[in-house]
Every structure is written in structure tokens, then in C-alpha cells.
Amino acid sequence: MAFNLKNPRNIINNLKSKVGLWSLMKQSHSTCCYSSCLNTIHLHRFLPLTTLPQFTNPESISHKKGHFPHFQRFQSTTTEKQIDSVPNDEHNQVLDFPGGKVVFSPEMRFLSESPSVYSQCYRVLDDAGQLISHSNFVPVSEEVAVKMYSNMVTLQTLDTVFYEAQRQGRISFYVTSIGEEAINIASAAALTSDDIVFPQYREPGVLLWRGFTLQEFANQCFGNKADYGKGRQMPIHYGSNKLNYFTVSSTIATQIPHAVGAAYSLKMDKKDACAVTYFGDGGTSEGDFHAAMNFAAVTESPVIFICRNNGWAISTPTSDQFRSDGIAVRGQAYGVRSIRVDGNDALAMYSAVRSARQMAVNEHRPILIEAVTYRVGHHSTSDDSTKYRPADEIEWWRMARDPVTRFRKWIEINGWWGSEAESQLRSSIRSQLLHAIQIAERAEKPPVNDLFTDVYDNIPSNLREQEKLLKETINRHPKDYPADVPI
């Protein structure tokens, strides 16, 4: 930026009063001319990350509930001298820029494209279900632990039964959560019912934990009259207003910025709650993810981003998606506190999400959790994953890294579970599911006119015309349409 310094003192004073850009310009002569070099600069600064608490100590910074934190990152400061820097004044300044400190250096050095040390992955239980020595985790009571395990088994059984139903032609589509049960249930257990969930399509366990019944799951998959979506959504596109669970949308990553907007609303209303959004590694390749991360960081919204890094975006491996050290490092780039967690370790997931929620709500900040796991099942019933990945790899993750088995071993070690309880649980859940399917399958379907409702208060004429044409077409070609759908 160039200035015509015909009246330099007035110009500088005017700028100083309006934008606080300069606090002092050193005089080089006894006249009113000023040197072009600045000895002291006043700029708004970003709070250095070094002053923030470590993730393992979420209580070290706290704010009163219902009150916003002070925006200290906009505090005015002066430039500082680097320690052990060269004596040249042009090389030893630390500039307080509006986005953080800028340290000047005479050395030309590019940032490496990859870190020398990769991000650690937080883990509490080893593969045998044993506590790792010196583990730092949030204690879980026997009651909560048994409920978590029961829900993990229920989710596993739910996937098995509905997958079989799809293969029998009884429902049109299904997506399993096999191998990701710990992420579903443990994260749900760490949240409260007031927290608003924006799922992708592989988080039915969160609904299960919150009280969605097996009959409600069956009603949605069969699209009957009891389905809250009135049969207008594909199977597994669940939603529950009562349980603060937004309806699933197939479009990838669109729920992520929605979650940030909801979180900002919770902050403005001073609610003791946060928003939580789930997505896969493929979702981080969408622009919605990056826009949402930046949006959340700048607005300091209480939102938890949970990325299920399961290795595959349908048939695309993570190696073909990005070159960064996973997902967690992306949070740091946007100024979002982040952690990488073993997604197959239910105790680690519970601890990480519980701590993340405390920070998000009490400190009004976004948190990114990268849950490292593996999609053991096919992407969906429309996919055959053995076409693009080896079957023995899938089998190894199914047997050696199963999150349900690992957590069972831990509760058995604690004396909270046994083989008799295991047998009764699995038998009971399967029986309940088969009964729910029979009821859902026999239930009446929603009428055709439901396709045109719930968007407009008064249905416009063009939709009325479409409804009329559809009904006429069904009457002319009844064999081409389901006979059990009321016209």
C-alpha cells in the first residue's frame, strides 16, 4: 500500500484512530517526516496455541456456563524480539498479525509436505481387552459398560438380520455398521440427550442408545405407515425429532456445515449442549467439510466433528484421497483442537468424546475426533467390496480387531459379564428383531398423496396436477406399481 505523505502526521493519526494499525512510527529527522521502518507495531493478535491447555487436561480452561469466553485473541499487543536472533533489526521481529504471530527469518525454509513424527492414536484397551498400563481414561460404571456392550451386540445383530432381509428381497437397500459398533455406541454414551446429532448413514447405534426401538427401525426400513418419513426415504435413512437426531441424507458431507450452524445457535441461546456430526473419511474430501471446519473455528461454536476413518470411501482407499497424516491434522490447520482415537476401542472412544463434549460446551470451541477403524462390511448392499480389497484383509479385521469382542473381554475381566448372559442377549435380540420385521412387513403402506405433502402449507397447482397424473397412471398400469400402496 502506498501513501502520498503530503501531510504525514494527520494521515498516520487518522489511520491509528480508525483501525488501530500503527501505534508509533519512529522519527528519523527533527521535522515531521517519518521513517518507513516501524519499530513498534500494534495489531490485533490471535491467542497463540502454546497458551492453550492440552487435550488431556480439559478442565484447565473453563468458563462459567451460559457466558461466552472473552475474545482474547483480539487483544492488542506490541511486537516482541526473538531470543537468540541475529542483531539486524529487520530479521529479529515477531509480528503480531491478525491471524497469529509471524516470526521473521533470513533463512528460506519450506514446510515439509509430511510430518517427521506421525500423530499418535489414543488407545486404552489392547486387542485382548486388557487395560494398557498408565492409561488415561474416563471411568465407566458397571451399569453403563453393560448397557454399552448390550447395545453393541444389538447393533451387530440388527445389521445381520436386516442385511439378510434385503438379500431375501424384503427391503430394497441396507447399509451396515459392522466393525464400527464402538464408534456408534461409545460416542452416544458420552453425549447427553440434549446434544443435537447430525449423522451420515452409518450411525444407527446413536439412535439405538437414545431409545429408538427395534420396531421403529423396522418401520423405517419397510417404509410403512408408521415410518416417520412416511416411506419417502430409502431404508436406513432414520430420523427422530424427539431424540434430537436429524434425518439421514445420502448426499455426502452436507450435514457437517448444518451441525456448525446448529452449534452456533446453541451458543447464542446459551444452551448447555453441543452439536455432533458424523462423517466418513470420504466426507473430508468434500468442500462442505473444509467450510464447516473454518466456520466452526471462527465462530467458536460448540460442535464435535467425529470422522470415521474406516479406510475406504466406497471403493476409494484413503491413499487415493489425501496425502496428509490422516484427518486429525486438518483440524490443527483450521485452528480446531483435534485428537486421533482407536475407533475399535470403546473405552477410548467414550473417554475422548466425553472430554470433547466438556470442552465444546464449557469453552465454546469445536473439537475434531478422528476415529481410526475399518469398514468390515460392504459399503452397502449395492456393493461387493471383494472386487477392490482382499478378502483376507476383511477377515483379519473381522476376527482380530472386532470392537465388540474386545469390549466384551474387558467387561468379563471386570466380572460384569458371562457366557450365559451373552447367549440370552443374542437370542432375545434376534427374536425381537424377527418379530418387529413381521409387524413392519404386514403394516399398511402410506398413501400415494403423502408424496406431495409436508412441503407447502397449501399445495400448489402444479403438484396437484402431478398427483392427479400419477394416480391416473397407476390406475392404467396397476401391474407396474405395488398393490399394497393406497391410492
In the chain, pLDDT over 70 holds for what percent of residues?
81
Confidence tier at 26 by pLDDT (50, 70, 90) = very low
Per-residue model confidence (pLDDT) at position 116: 77
- pLDDT level of residue 249 (50, 70, 90 thresholds): very high
Q: Which helix (H) or strand (E) holds 406?
A: helix 403-413
Average pLDDT score over the chain: 85
State mean pLDDT over 200-207.
98
Q: Who wins on pLDDT, 6 or 144? A: 144
Percent of the chain whose pLDDT exceeds 90: 74
pLDDT at 93 > cutoff 80: yes
Instruction: Extract the C-alpha cell encoding 134.
Output: 498408565
pLDDT digits (tens, 9 = 90+) for 211-243: 999 999 999 999 999 999 999 999 999 999 999
User: Average pLDDT of 473-481?
Assistant: 94
pLDDT classification of 171: cutoffs 50, 70, 90: very high
Please say if the pLDDT value at position 259 is more than 90: yes
Q: Report the amino acid identity of residue 79.
A: T
CA R_g for the chain: 28
* 150 among known catalytic residues: no
- 164 labelled catalytic: yes
Catalytic site residue from 28, 76, 105, 250: 250
Instruction: Give the residue, 46 or 373, on which the prediction is more confident.
Output: 373
Among 85, 94, 15, smallest CA distance to 48 is for: 94
According to the model, what pLDDT value does residue 115 have? 78
Burial of 38 (0-12, 13-18, 19+ CB in 10 A): middle
pLDDT at 274: 98
What is the predicted pLDDT for the residue at 237?
98
Tell me the DSSP string of 195-213: SEEE--SS-HHHHHHHT--
Taking 70 as the threshold, does the pLDDT of residue 42 lie above it?
Answer: no
- Has 250 been annotated as catalytic? yes
Of the listed 364, 378, 379, 385, which one is catalytic?
Answer: 379
What is residue 227's predicted lDDT score, i.e. its pLDDT?
A: 98
* 306 backbone dihedrals φ, ψ, rounded to 5°: -115, 110
Query: Residue 307 has what pLDDT?
Result: 98
Q: Residue 116 carries which DSSP code?
A: S
Residue 14 pLDDT greater than 60, yes or no:
no
Residue ranges per structural domain of the chain: 142-442, 448-477
142-442: CATH, from 3.40.50.800, 3.40.50.300, 3.40.50.970, 3.40.50.620: 3.40.50.970
Contact status, residue 245 vs residue 197, Cβ threshold 8 Å: yes
Decide if 324 is catalytic.
no
Report yes or no: 264 and 68 within 8 Å, Cβ to Cβ. Answer: no
The enclosing H or E element of 81 equals strand 80-81
Look at the block and give the residue holding cell 440370552. Answer: 424
Task: Tell me if residue 438 falls in helix, strand or coil.
Answer: helix
DSSP string, 285-333: GSHHHHHHHHHHHHHT--EEEEEEE-SEETTEEGGGT--SSTTHHHHHH
Q: What distance in Å separates the CA atoms of residue 263 and residue 303, rounded to the nearest whole number?
A: 6
**CA 314 remoteness from chain centre:** 18
Q: What is the pLDDT, as a whole number, of residue 51?
A: 35
pLDDT at 308 over 50: yes
Average pLDDT over residues 36-44: 33
Poorest-pLDDT segment among 35-39, 103-107, 389-393, 440-444 = 35-39
The answer on pLDDT for 328 being more than 90 is yes
Residue 346 clears pLDDT 90, i.e. is over it: yes
Which residue among the candidates 80, 142, 164, 444 is catalytic per the annotation?
A: 164
